[in-house]
């Protein structure tokens, strides 16, 4: 499953760090954090999508405290 979300991230460097960390989560097929568009795209296994999304947001917040995702 692939879904797009509106997100908030403060800088392009932070967006890249968050994206790289989210891609390492078990079950993530692909992830993109676009600073310019303030968009977060997550592609993950259908059965665990909600759990993976929660984990992705938590990982993002550890790296960039201001990182947020509108569901």
pLDDT digits (tens, 9 = 90+) for 11-55: 999 999 999 999 999 999 999 999 999 999 999 999 999 999 999
Work out the average pLDDT over 5-14: 97
Q: Specify the number of domains making up the chain.
A: 1
Which residues span the domain enclosing 34?
Answer: 2-70
| Domain at 23, CATH number | 3.30.70.100
Q: Would you call 55 exposed, middle or buried from its count of C-beta atoms within 10 A (0-12, 13-18, 19+)? A: middle
């Amino acid at each position: 499953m692939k879904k797009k979300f509106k997100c908030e991230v403060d800088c392009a460097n932070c967006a890249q760090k968050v994206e790289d960390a989210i891609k390492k989560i078990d079950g993530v097929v692909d992830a993109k954090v676009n600073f310019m568009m303030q968009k977060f795209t997550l592609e993950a296994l259908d059965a665990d999508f909600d759990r993976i999304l929660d984990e992705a947001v938590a990982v993002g917040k550890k790296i960039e405290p201001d990182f947020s995702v509108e569901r």
